[in-house]
Amino acid sequence: MLKTLLKPFARVFEFQAKTHYKMERHSMALTAGIILAAGVGGFVEIAPLFTIDDTVEDVADMRVYTPLEQAGRDIYIREGCYACHSQMIRTLRDEVERYGPYSLAVESKYDHPMLWGSKRTGPDLARVGDKYSDDWQVRHLINPRDLVPQSVMPQYAFLLEAPLRTDDLPGRLDALRMVGVPYTDDMIANAANDALGQAQPDGDRASGVLDRYGEATAVRVFDGQSGRLTEMDALVAYLQILGNLTDVAQNTQPMAEE
């Protein structure tokens, strides 16, 4: 009776017996099986532990890049500035004295990708924001050797002529949201307007920028030519925000090593 009942499963048993026998015979396969089983089980256990992140400090005043700053960052990326400028002040005394408080992990937590760099042909830029005036930055970008005769930096005069594309900004912000930057629907929908508004302090779009990104956001004509939104506007806006997304580093005044 039982036999007939189990008959349909005979094949399953047979298969089980066969594979089990084989597994036992090749004890390596057995070990691999153990590793696999343990690995899957273990990983389910491990994964939640990682959600408690002990690396990146939690800071309340850390804000995201505005669309204009993000556009400037994209230009910084496009021009390969990271090849000569780092954005990571190390915990060494001379660096802290030269560039400012050393960089904290939180400060680059919205940087996709990070631009820490690996070579300083030019100085570190992690805290270059507000160190120089907009005018200095623009003139320096047009021809670095006008301001620093010994500089070997290339000229970026063409940025002043290139109008900034704003139509793709919502898409970019949306993509950034997908990888974890907390842009709101509102920010994404108004991305193009906000980019224009941040460089036009007298325009009606400016207030939106302050609403969405905070009162401290710099709203001004970055490139010195009002009425036109250029790539120079974006890049300078980005340079001026470097190190200014949060005050945590300045406030805590971390002590340097050595």
List the structure tokens of 54: 């002990």
Residue 219 or 237 having the CB closest to another protein:
237
Given a contact cutoff of 8 angstroms between Cβ atoms, the answer to whether 166 and 195 are in contact is yes
From 217, 170, 166, select the one nearest 196 (Cα to Cα).
Answer: 166
Rounded distance, CA 7 to CA 15, Å? 14
Rounded distance, CA 125 to CA 122, Å? 9
Q: Which residue has the tokens 């004509």?
A: 221
Amino acid at 115: L
Q: Give me the least distance between CB of 221 and another protein, in Å please.
A: 23
Q: Give me the least distance between CB of 121 and another protein, in Å please.
A: 7
Rounded distance, CA 198 to CA 41, Å? 51
Q: Give me the least distance between CB of 1 and another protein, in Å please.
A: 41
Residue 6 or 29 having the CB closest to another protein:
29
Residue 72 or 117 having the CB closest to another protein:
117
Q: Give me the least distance between CB of 154 and another protein, in Å please.
A: 4
Q: Give me the least distance between CB of 120 and another protein, in Å please.
A: 4
Q: Give me the least distance between CB of 53 and another protein, in Å please.
A: 6
Residue 10 or 105 having the CB closest to another protein:
105
Residue 1 or 52 having the CB closest to another protein:
52
Torsion of CA 133, 136, 142, 144, to 10 degrees: -130
Residue 39 or 214 having the CB closest to another protein:
39
Given a contact cutoff of 8 angstroms between Cβ atoms, the answer to whether 246 and 62 are in contact is yes
Give buried/exposed letters for 40-49 (b at 16+ CB in 10 A, else e).
eeeeeeeeee
